[in-house]
Amino acid sequence: MKVRAALSPWKVVLASTVSGVVWLETYRVAVVFEFIDRGGYRFHRSEPVLVQPWWSAPAAVALGVIGAGLTVWLLPDRRRLLQRFSQLFARLSY
């Protein structure tokens, strides 16, 4: 059996999905925090802090699901692969 090291579409989609998920999870934005009590006294000076945005985790999950679906769709033997995967769960359900 001859092994080819060709650049196939499913490899490109998988690599871009993984890199996109990693980028989304490590993305940070600067937010200014101020520590002010009820009387209006600032007991720390204001400073910018890097935080993860609220949309980062849901976007990473959505990108991962879409990328996994596209990768499976672009696989050459996807029907056989999906049938073997579903048969595994059918055997475990007894």
pLDDT at 29: 93
**Can you give the residue ranges of every domain in the chain?**
9-26+53-92
Query: How remote is the C-alpha of 31 from its chain's centroid?
Result: 23
4 to each of 16, 20, 74, 78, how far by Cα in Å?
21, 26, 17, 19
| Cα–Cα distance, 76 to 48 (Å, whole number) | 49
pTM for this one?
Answer: 0.68
3-state secondary structure of 15: helix
Element (H, E) at 23: helix 9-26
Q: 14-53: per-residue pLDDT in tens?
A: 899 999 999 999 999 998 888 778 887 877 777 888 999 9
